[in-house]
A and B are shown apart, each in its own frame.
Chain A
Amino acid sequence: MSYIEYDMVIGLEIHCELATKSKIFCSCPTTFGAQENENVCPVCLGLPGTLPVLNRSVVDYAVRVGLALNCEISNYSKMDRKNYFYPDLPKAYQISQYEKPICENGYLDIELEDGSTKRIGITRIHIEEDAGKLTHAYKSTFIDNNRCGVPLIEIVTEPDMRSAYEAEAFARKVRSIIQATGSSDCRMQEGSIRFDVNLSIMPKGSEVFGTRTEMKNLNSFRSLVRAVGYESRRQEDVLLDGGEVIQETRRWDDSKGMSVSMRSKEDAHDYRYFPDPDLVPIVLTDEYIAHMRDTLPELPDAKLRRYTEKLKLSAFESRQLTSESEITEFFEEAIRHADAKSVANFIIVDIFALLKTDEEDFSNLKITPLQLAELINLVRDSVISISASKKVLSEMYRTGEDAKTVVDKLGLMQVSDASAIETIVRKVISDNPKSVEDYKGGKTQAMGYLVGQVMRASKGKANPKIVNELVNRVLNE
């Protein structure tokens, strides 16, 4: 049997909820976790006679993401209606952008496994409203309209990715950039960022794309990677069996680890897009766009450079610290009060290890940046030893208490009072005449034994540097 190797071609559509306080066309709050149908009003319920009014912050946030992803920002864009019947869509159309999106022609450079970079094209970014949520239970369907009208951006890429690794790297980087702009918190578990994957395969070396399928509703990096793997293998199997890949929309079932067909091209909706006559065009001046560009927060790539060049962190440390906005923010806040290298070390080595053991997210960390800085400064000021600081940290991690409180509670305060230590030193020396004799007879290692005895007598709290000095002085009196 002949074996054909295939290349895969991947394009992504990323939906991301924007961090506005209110919905895109009305003043209902966007808070997650409200009671069903609590965050609704006549406008987002699409009651007859109501009209949408565009939330200005949605435009600001979308423009920021567009600028961060190197897009051209349109001076003139407009909202269109996408018409289809579905019970989660109260108006029976979704207000979106079709013909003239707000951002176009961007790109993002990602780092590949071999350390080289690759440029992924971004076709467009448009703004639109989210639909409601359907729950099927008790042989009925229940509609929760809280999500109706929550603002979304949809980022559409060129079919530039060639592996699951590239797709994941791109998705992760887009997420960290969106977070850095402050446009969205991108919380995976709340579905505030979701991926659709367009995937086709072609014989290795070919330039002609195969027929693609679209997989919907992937809401974690893990499912993105799994779905790409599954779907590329499925298409390979179809082709190797002599079949043809059908252009269709498939739904990824994460629990079963497989995709299932939703509808074929023939059943595709005709959305009858047309300009929404209830809304006026979005006109953005060059001054506005320039202002948005000037006030854009520092993005992950620039941060990375600053961390390695100015803060002298390693490339590995810098990447770890810029991988998620929560980590970056924590780091930035902590280094306002403590040494950067130590903060980086504590986060990457100790905090990450604690979180990993508990399988917890960084966002659930109980320790505040200031608390970590205080802990580091206690070590710097020799109040506690390095080894004690690890014990303190894990207690802080567990309870959320301040470093000083934990140090007191566990009695880990280092004794640096020379007179108190001297008392112990003199007692140890008078109790160990043999060792003193050995030392004076030229056996210098006897001093190490005496220092150890002092440390034991102080229950490890004596400052070792001072102990060394004092033992040395008293022996040579």
Chain B
Amino acid sequence: MQPYEMTANQLKQAIKTRELSCVDVVNSFIDRICGADKHINAYLTTCFEAAMNNAKMHDDITVKGEDMNNYLAGIPYSLKDNIITKDIKTTASSKILENFVPPYSAHVYENLTSSGAILLGKVDMDEFAMGSTCENSSFGTVKNPYDLSRVPGGSSGGSAAAVAAGMCAFSIGSDTGGSVRNPASYCNLTALKPTYGTVSRYGLIAYASSLDQIGPVCRDIEDVALVMNVISGKDERDSTSTASPHKDYTSYLTEDIKGMKIGIDMNLIETGLDKEVRRIYLETINKFKELGCEIVDLSFDMQKYAVPVYYLVACSEASSNLARFDGIRYGTRHTAPTVEETIRLSRTNGFGKEVKNRIMLGTYALSAGYYDKYYSQALKVRRLISEDYNNALSECDLYLCPTNPDPAYKIGEKNDDPMSLYLADIFTVTANLTGTPAASFPAGFTSDGLPVGMQLSAMSQREDLIIKAIYSFQKNTSYHTVRPEI
């Protein structure tokens, strides 16, 4: 097996036993990127020279036997391009930030660097994380490694495509309405959206601050646990970050799920699901039964409001978060006689269509006279959704549903039907509105060989239950070990 085909845990073990040097590992991944990314198009910026220097440094440290607390020493990873990296271009896949080289670093990047993980580069995404196909990037289209004619999902599509294609061992994405889970599902990966506040948002370019949460995109749940140990924890620079009760996520990697209660929603089987997704959902339910879980029927009355509430809250916050990109400080300035006109022109030229749609929607929802009808109302319904979710979850440990109603779409397939794309967020947005943890994991393939992911979600701070259940599932299935042919 080539290093680029290994999981982060396998690499960690091989580096620890000196079976592989960090330089060997990084070289293998760089070669892979050079070979495969021309087909996939995941990387926006690479930093191979710095990566090689870091690898050499870590090899030296390993040889000297110095303990540098290098928990992820030599393990190559990528960052979604909305995570701020000092001296490395950070664009959020937007033309308006085309040349933005930040003077500081995000909390996650600092933590990963000090853990010894090696950054290979920044990967593509939907512009400002708005989208679920990665087609809204200003810098080209990312391809799904399982079928190059299809989308990798989004908005962390570059992250998922890069991990699936062996172009990094893991990637860090962000999830505002499903943005790590959706592409993980399309690319046969395991991704966790942690409880809101678990990972500091300091240095994450905000889309919707009350929903945004950083999460790992990995090959399996063991890697997710490994990476969570490094990126989680309270950060004084993010007022909304919290001290989580989890000291060591890898301690939940046990097959101890007998008697665990898993809630399912049989109404879902009847409506709107792709036939193959439905089949795989039923198979997954059966698998958990086999593993000794108790299956409980649930229903969420408020779930039908989740998508409209999500788009009102997310777009309102986005309209304010993105106002600073005015062409005066960032992006290409389109000079006009007045300040107002300069700002208008720069923003018209700098933002893509979807971003403009959402800014306009959010501006409208916050406007005098409409605030009470839309934004304020959305906040009220958001609280009701939370209550509803917590009530339902009080009867079981976990809630199981498909991550997406369909497998990966063809590139361009949904161009004329944005509404159906919005509605496809139905299963993922609830976790963001409620701030609760949810993970997507590989659960099967369609007859065409397209991966399909399922989602497990829990009450706030109960990542332990999710990790245990997915670990048990992966110990007893092999979907997550399948790799695409490239």
Q: Does A81 sit at the interface, judged by CB under 8 A? A: yes
Contact A272 B239, CB 8 Å, known A48-B97, A48-B205, A50-B202: no
- Complex Cα spacing A49 to B83, Å: 8
Least CB separation from B200: chain A residue: A51
Is B360 part of the binding interface, using a Cβ–Cβ cutoff of 8 Å? no
Residues of chain A within 8 A of B326, CB atoms compared: 85, 92
Question: Is A29 interfacial (CB 8 A cutoff)?
Answer: no
Main secondary structure on chain A at its contact with chain B?
A: loop
Q: Which 5 A-B pairs have the closest CB atoms?
A: A92-B323, A277-B210, A277-B209, A272-B366, A49-B84
Whether A91 pairs with B240 at a CB distance below 8 angstroms is no
Q: A87-B328, A274-B320 are in contact. Are A49 and B238 (CB under 8 A)?
A: no
Q: Mark B residues whose CB is within 8 Å of A.
A: 82-84, 90, 92, 97, 100, 102-104, 106, 201-206, 208-210, 236-240, 316-317, 319-320, 323-326, 328-330, 339-340, 343, 363, 366-368, 371, 375
Chain B, residue nearest A82 (CB): B320
Contact indicator B367/A48 (Cβ below 8 Å): no
CB A27 to nearest CB in B, in angstroms, measures 10
In the complex, which residues of chain B have a beta carbon less than 8 angstroms from the beta carbon of A81? 320
| Shortest Cβ gap from A37 to chain B (Å) | 13
Contact, CB under 8 Å: A278 / B97:
no
A51 touching B329 by the CB < 8 A rule? no
Q: Which residues 21-75 of A sit at the B interface, judged by CB distance below 8 A? A: 42, 46-54
In the complex, 13 of the A-B residue pairs with CB atoms within 8 angstroms, ordered by the A residue number, are A48-B90, A48-B100, A48-B325, A49-B201, A49-B202, A50-B104, A83-B366, A85-B326, A90-B329, A92-B320, A274-B317, A279-B239, A280-B240
Contact between A272 and B317, CB atoms less than 8 A apart: no
A83-B366, A277-B317 given. 15 additional CB < 8 A pairs?
A47-B84, A48-B90, A48-B92, A49-B90, A49-B205, A51-B202, A51-B237, A83-B323, A87-B328, A91-B324, A92-B326, A93-B320, A274-B317, A274-B366, A274-B375
- Tell me whether A5 is interfacial, beta carbon within 8 Å: no
Given contacts A49-B205, A85-B326, A90-B324, contact A274 B343 (CB under 8 A): no
B320–A272 CB distance below 8 A: yes
Would you call B324 and A53 a contact (CB within 8 A)? no
How far apart are the CA atoms of A50 and B367 in the complex, in Å? Answer: 25
A96 to chain B, nearest CB (A): 13
Identify which of A51, A90, A272 contacts B201 (C-beta below 8 A): A51
Q: Measured between C-beta atoms, what is the minimum distance from A41 to chain B in Å?
A: 8
Inter-chain CA distance A277–B316, complex, in Å, is 11
- CB of A43 to closest CB in B, whole Å: 8
Cα distance A272–B366 when bound, in Å?
Answer: 5
In the complex, the chain B residue whose C-beta lies closest to that of A81 is: B320
Residues A85 and B201 in contact, CB atoms below 8 Å apart: no
A241 CB within 8 Å of chain B? no
Are B237 and A83 closer than 8 Å at their CB atoms? no
Bound-state Cα–Cα, A283 to B374, Å: 27
> Given A49-B204, A274-B366, does the pair A42, B324 have CB atoms closer than 8 Å?
no
Residues of B within 8 A of A273 (CB): 366
User: How far, in angstroms, from A367 to B375 measured CA to CA in the complex?
Assistant: 60
Q: Name the CB-closest residue of A to B363.
A: A272
CB-CB nearest in chain A for B369: A270
Using an 8 Å CB-CB cutoff, how does the interface string of A269-310 with B read, 1 for contact, 0 for none?
A: 010111001111000000000000000000000000000000
Q: Is the CB of A85 within 8 A of B238?
A: no
- Please, which residues of chain B bring their CB within 8 A of the CB of A93? 320, 323
Shortest CB distance A371–B (Å): 46
Closest to A87 in B: B328
User: Which B residues touch A83, using CB under 8 A?
Assistant: 319-320, 323, 366
Is the beta-carbon distance between A278 and B84 smaller than 8 angstroms?
Answer: no
Contact call B203/A49, Cβ cutoff below 8 A: yes
Out of A52, A91, A92, A274, name the residue touching B371 (CB < 8 Å): A274
Chain A residues within an 8 Å CB radius of B323:
83, 85, 91-93
**Residue in chain A with minimal CB distance to B362:** A272
Q: How far is the CA of A473 from the CA of B90 in the complex (A)?
A: 99
CB distance from A129 to the nearest CB of B (A): 14
Residue of B nearest to A276 (CB): B209
